[in-house]
Amino acid sequence: MEYHDSPTATELAARAREFVDEVVIPTERERLGDGPVGEDVVAELRAEARSREIYCPQIDGAHGGMGHDLRDVLPLFEEAGRSLLGAAAMRVDAPDEGNMHTLELVGTDRQKEEWLEPLVAGEIRSGFAMTEPRQGGGSDPKMLATTAEADGDEYVLDGHKWWTTQGSHADVLLVMAVTDPDAHPYEGASILLVPTDADGVELVRDIPHLGPDLDGHGHAEFRFDGVRVPEENLLGAENAGFAIAQQRLGPARLTHCMRFSGMARRALTIAKAYMDEREAFGSTLSEKQSLRYDIADAETRLHAARTMVRHAAEEIARGSQARVPVSMSKVFTANVCQEAIDLAVQCCGGAGISRDLPLADFYEAVRAFRIVDGADEVHQRVIAREAFEDADEHADELQNLPTF
């Protein structure tokens, strides 16, 4: 596989890199270890991103974005990922990025005006409520237990969700619920747009979790008790929730991959700078053959991950769901990034686990990447299923094998 980024992609990435180096990282350094930054700080960063023409590049200009193709914005996502504030600054941050993409794909004109355009402008926030605590396991969405029963021109929503990223700050939730309990699980669920201030919506708590919260997202738990949702808040067709979610999750997984590969890139950059200066046993750490080979291996695997992501994006652009290429990209990149950041921490020793550098925050953040947007094992299951289906098609080749 090869990739050749377009001139547009190269230009966007260059502007984003300059912005992150000149504005975002200095802002991050001022606040390391101080917890979430204020909305005023994010607003200032976004204003600067707009002036540099790198704000929300993935959404159509009619709704306030820049209208670029997914393939052209992937390198920008990687540059954004070099700082925990970068994605929010350029409005390419999860979960809003994926929710905006979903609204753009299947939302009605009214829904786009009411929800998409304020999201693009940064005036509101959103959450995607799919994972459930008990019956509806996060790794097996077919076990969905939250229901939305039609009642006249409304749905009555009942259920329990958690790990809704940014939920406690969200103005609207995209809630996955069963609307046809008699249908196959993949054909009986829908997505509803639910304002968080609606009667019956209870924010239970923000779940304490591993990882930094510099951008103030958090992960919320909700209960829905007889929430009446107007049918005009149905997102896309009724019972098409899983098909819509797949349209959302494929590109979103690739953007996650690029953000985390940017994080891993910066981690290695910090480690290499430290190794050039740190002396031990008669030479700098950068002259130690073992560490040099470890860095070389990490750089090689990151390059492979970037290539896989771009290949999956090409498949999506051709009209394919690209489930296997996306799963391969996600599970491979998650592990490669974790290994690279772990190596950076190790190379920096005590400095690596201090909060003087961003490596400790990166180390905590990257561990979740092997779980969110589908755990490693779920993606491996998708890949293995395809592999064995392909093997079944060629089972006749076994007839030619000798008997021992």
Which structural domains are found in the chain, ordered by start? 7-93 (1.10.540.10), 126-239 (2.40.110.10), 242-392 (1.20.140.10)
Tell how far CA 232 is from the center of its chain.
28
Q: How far apart are CA 106 and CA 205, in angstroms?
A: 30
Alpha carbons within 13 A on the beta-carbon side of 208: 0
Q: How far apart are CA 359 and CA 349, in angstroms?
A: 11
Q: What is the pLDDT of residue 124?
A: 97
Q: What is the pLDDT of residue 210?
A: 87
Torsion angle in degrees (nearest 10) through CA of 360, 366, 367, 373:
160
Alpha carbons within 13 A on the beta-carbon side of 28: 28
* Residue 361, phi then psi, degrees to nearest 5: -65, -40
Q: What is the pLDDT of residue 404?
A: 53
Enter the tokens of residue 261: 């590969």
Q: Please name the residue that has the structure tokens 């920008």.
A: 76
Which amino acid is located at 386 in the chain? E
- Kindly report the pTM of this predicted structure: 0.91
Residues of the chain with pLDDT under 70: 1-2, 32-35, 135-138, 213-216, 391-404
Q: Per the omega criterion (within 30 degrees of 0), is the bond before 358 cis?
A: no
Q: What is the pLDDT of residue 249?
A: 87
Q: What is the pLDDT of residue 381?
A: 95
